[in-house]
Amino acid sequence: MPLFQPPLAPLPSDLTFVTKTIIVTGANSGLGLAATKHLLFHQAKEVIMAVRTITKGEMAKSQILADRDVQKGTLMVGLLSCS
């Protein structure tokens, strides 16, 4: 059976995260890092980067905060291991 991905509706242009606290798992790289940046860019009130290696999380946080476009809201790093 072929895999089928139905088309997704575009996100509403007035989508806002200004009142939201969001936890992103695997936030120090890949999709998690990209999602964290995206949420801050869209003015999330608070994003918690849930990582299994705090030093990697803090490095990723520094990288994100160096980007002027995403310096909004609060960004925290927390320990989470799913192993």
Ligand X SMILES: NC(=O)c1ccc[n+]([C@@H]2O[C@H](COP(=O)([O-])OP(=O)(O)OC[C@H]3O[C@@H](n4cnc5c(N)ncnc54)[C@H](OP(=O)(O)O)[C@@H]3O)[C@@H](O)[C@H]2O)c1
Q: Enumerate binding residues for ligand X (CB under 6 A).
A: 26, 28-32, 52-53, 56, 80-83
Handedness of CA 61, 62, 65, 68 (dihedral sign): negative
* Structural contact between residues 18 and 46, judged by C-beta atoms closer than 8 angstroms: no
d(CA 47, CA 50): 9
Beta carbon nearer to ligand X, 33 or 70: 33
CB of 33 to ligand X, least distance (A): 7
Beta carbon nearer to ligand X, 28 or 44: 28
CB of 51 to ligand X, least distance (A): 6
User: Which residues make Cβ contacts (< 8 Å) with residue 57, sequence separation at least 6?
Assistant: 27, 28, 49, 51, 77, 78
CB of 10 to ligand X, least distance (A): 19
Beta carbon nearer to ligand X, 25 or 43: 25
